[in-house]
Amino acid sequence: MKQIVRLPGVPLLQINVTRLAMSQIEIRAMFEGESAAQEALHKLQALRAFEVNGLFESGILTATVDEEVAERALHLIHQIGGYTDTRGM
């Protein structure tokens, strides 16, 4: 399923969502710098992401979150200036 998302102050984003299992969503995000990726890492950990990893110095991270907090996780990534791609797990 493809979904077009428009958030104020954020460029138009295309998010691809694929359900692979019950309640986990994988979010891949790209940021313009390491500090934004690190900020996202800490905020996703506060949301109790199952796993967060990536190439933070390159501004790239992947997080696995519970489906119940996926929208909040996407929102915080977009607030920080990240671009996202999601996949159900």
For 31-53, how does the pLDDT look when each residue is reduced to its tens digit (9 = 90+)?
998 999 999 999 999 999 999 99
For 55-75, how does the pLDDT look when each residue is reduced to its tens digit (9 = 90+)?
988 999 999 999 999 999 999
> Is the model's pLDDT at 6 over the cut of 80?
no
pTM of the predicted model, to two decimals?
0.70
* pLDDT band, very low/low/confident/very high, at 22 (cuts 50, 70, 90): low
Domains of the chain (ranges, CATH numbers): 2-88 (3.30.70.120)
Residues ≥6 apart with Cβ < 8 Å to 64: 24, 25, 26, 27, 49, 50, 51, 52, 89
* C-alpha closest to that of 56 among 76, 77, 36: 36
CA distance 85 to 35: 20
Q: What is the pLDDT of residue 69?
A: 92
